[in-house]
Amino acid sequence: MTAFLDERKQLACLDIDALADEMRSLAAFIGTHPELGFQERNALSALSEFLHKHGSKSELGIAEMPTAFGAQTGKGEGPTIAVFVE
């Protein structure tokens, strides 16, 4: 099992490294375009477009909040990861 987990961790690190520059640009965009709470339209657009570009399906406006969203990727196999961004 350890070899399997080590391989998965290595693959995850490679994926993260491949997206690092794009994720830094995304973070810089959000940081230079501040928005008031519950009005984060630029951030919502940038984040959901990034996720869609990389194969995730987003559901916008969840929890009765227009700027909240959820995203899913994968085939339902393997570990589940949740990321909360505020």
At 44, list the tokens. 């919502």
Task: Identify the domain containing residue 32 by its residue range.
Answer: 2-72
Query: How many domains is the chain built from?
Result: 1
Residue 34 backbone phi and psi in degrees, to 5:
-65, 145
Whether residue 82 lies inside any domain: the answer is no
Query: Cβ contacts of residue 40 below 8 Å, gap of 6+?
Result: 67
The pTM is what? 0.82
The total of other beta-carbon atoms located within 10 Å of residue 81's CB is 8
Whether residue 23 lies inside any domain: the answer is yes
At 80, list the tokens. 């589940």
Query: Which of 70, 64, 29, 65 lies closest to 46 in space, CA to CA?
Result: 29
Whether residue 79 lies inside any domain: the answer is no
Asked if residue 33 has pLDDT above 90, the reply is yes
Q: Give residue 86's pLDDT band: very low, low, confident or very high (50, 70, 90).
A: low
- What's the pLDDT score for residue 29? 97
